[in-house]
């Protein structure tokens, strides 16, 4: 088996808001995982579980409370010079959830897309700058003439394509897509996801795809991580996770996916996750454990043995 090359490494990452105060929120609570070059890692969970905060902390929109993030072996949150930060920001880009709020309404599309090109000096002159913008528009399925229009002249799906073009403009290696389809009509969502898959192949991109739509995450992701209240509770390949969910919370999430069949929907029984089913002794060692090859579950030693007995027969 070919050894996979790590692009992003997250080690014991913590993001606490109002740290040290009674109102402290543990948005990310000691999570660790890797993202390999050329793959799409899906990150799922219900609203408020910390998945978007994870993406923003990885890219350093938030400074981590504790833990480490490595990109190509370099510490993202370590002290960096302006030149190092600028280079890092070119290699790692983000596509935001709201295509309406993420584009400056006062700027033409050409200037929105070319912002990164200007900052990093990637154009030889004005003609080259416009040529790059027009090429990017065509790459994401828009027309060259759209460069001279304003954001309000576009639909939600078109605006998200513009956001994708803006991210691609600086030729990144890694893109964090933070719920990029949640604000779009269902008919448009598949188009955007198919575009992302096509661009990944053409440009050799690596994605962290954050979403709560489990069916869409399965379609685009190679591996999937499940978050619950700031914790990563399960991590496995997309196919394995859907066929054999182990953590009770993952089972609950998957049981909520609607089936395109009225009869199946009538008889479907949803599993409700109750966190109180876990009985832990004080000071018990809870961690991600490999229940099956490349299938990790957050559990105690006792639960680990139970999961192995049930799921490795």
Quote the pLDDT of residue 1: 42
Q: Which domain holds residue 80?
A: 6-244
Q: How far apart are CA 56 and CA 60, in angstroms?
A: 6
Flag whether 83 is in a domain: yes
Flag whether 294 is in a domain: no
Flag whether 311 is in a domain: no
Flag whether 19 is in a domain: yes
List the chain pLDDT tens, one digit each, 313 residues.
457 899 999 999 999 998 788 889 999 999 999 999 999 999 999 988 999 999 999 999 999 999 999 999 999 988 778 888 888 889 999 999 888 888 999 999 999 999 999 999 999 999 999 999 999 999 999 999 999 999 999 999 999 999 999 999 999 999 999 999 887 888 888 898 999 999 999 999 999 999 987 888 988 999 999 999 999 999 999 999 999 999 999 999 998 887 777 877 787 788 889 888 888 777 788 999 999 999 999 999 999 999 988 876 6
- Report the candidate in 3, 172, 163 with the shortest Cα–Cα distance to residue 71: 172
Flag whether 313 is in a domain: no
State pLDDT tens for residues 164-218: 999 999 999 999 999 998 878 888 888 989 999 999 999 999 999 999 878 889 8
Question: By the 8 A CB rule, do 235 and 45 touch?
Answer: no
Q: What is the DSSP letter of 273?
A: P
Flag whether 169 is in a domain: yes
CA 295 to chain centre: 19
Q: How far apart are CA 153 and CA 134, in angstroms?
A: 17
- Supply 289's token pair: 């454990």
Q: What is the DSSP letter of 141?
A: T
Q: How far apart are CA 37 and CA 293, in angstroms?
A: 20
Quote the pLDDT of residue 205: 97
Sheet with 174-178, side-by-side order of all strands: 92-95, 174-178, 206-210, 40-44, 223-228, 231-237, 295-299, 287-292
Sheet with 6-17, side-by-side order of all strands: 25-36, 6-17, 66-71, 74-75
- Supply 200's token pair: 């990944």
Please report, for the domain that includes residue 209, its CATH number.
Answer: 3.40.50.300
**Cα-based angle 182, 24, 34 (whole degrees, multiple of 5):** 55
Quote the pLDDT of residue 2: 56
**Total tally of structural domains belonging to the chain:** 1
Quote the pLDDT of residue 288: 96
- DSSP SS3 for 209: strand
Flag whether 206 is in a domain: yes
Flag whether 292 is in a domain: no
The pTM is what?
A: 0.92
| Residue 208: C-alpha distances to residues 19, 30, 51, 217 (Å) | 27, 18, 10, 11
Write out 31-61 in H/E/C secondary structure. Answer: EEEEEECCCEEEEECCCCCCHHHHHHHHCCC
β-sheet bridge partners, residue 40: 207
Quote the pLDDT of residue 260: 76
β-sheet bridge partners, residue 95: 177
Quote the pLDDT of residue 313: 61
Q: Residues, the chain, total? A: 313
Residue pointed to by tokens 């604000």? 183
């Amino acid at each position: 088996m070919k050894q996979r090359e790590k692009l992003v490494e997250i080690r014991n990452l913590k993001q606490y808001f109002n740290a040290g105060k009674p109102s402290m929120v543990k948005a990310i609570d000691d999570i660790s995982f890797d993202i390999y070059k050329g793959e799409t890692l899906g990150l799922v969970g219900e609203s408020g579980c910390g998945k978007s905060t994870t993406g923003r902390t990885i890219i350093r929109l938030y400074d981590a409370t504790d833990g480490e993030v490595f990109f190509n072996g370099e510490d993202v949150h370590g002290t960096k010079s302006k030149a190092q930060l600028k280079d890092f920001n070119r290699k790692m880009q983000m596509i935001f959830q709201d295509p309406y709020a993420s584009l400056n309404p006062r700027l033409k599309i050409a200037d929105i897309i070319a912002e990164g090109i200007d900052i990093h000096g990637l154009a030889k002159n004005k003609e080259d700058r416009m040529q790059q913008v027009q090429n990017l528009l065509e790459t994401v399925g828009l027309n060259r003439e759209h460069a001279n229009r304003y954001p309000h002249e576009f639909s939600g799906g078109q605006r998200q394509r513009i956001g994708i073009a803006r991210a691609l403009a600086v030729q990144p290696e890694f893109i964090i897509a933070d719920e990029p389809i949640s604000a779009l009509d269902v008919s448009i969502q598949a188009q955007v996801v198919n575009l992302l898959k096509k661009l990944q192949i053409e440009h050799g991109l690596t994605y962290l795809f954050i979403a709560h739509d489990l069916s869409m995450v399965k379609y685009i992701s190679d591996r999937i991580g499940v978050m619950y209240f700031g914790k990563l509770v399960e991590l496995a390949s997309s196919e394995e996770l859907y066929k054999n969910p182990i953590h009770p919370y993952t089972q609950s999430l998957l049981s909520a996916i609607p089936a395109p069949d009225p009869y199946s929907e009538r008889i479907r029984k949803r599993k409700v996750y109750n966190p109180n089913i876990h009985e832990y002794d004080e000071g018990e060692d809870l961690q991600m454990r490999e229940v099956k090859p490349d299938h990790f579950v957050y559990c105690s030693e006792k639960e680990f043995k139970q999961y192995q007995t049930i799921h490795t027969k």
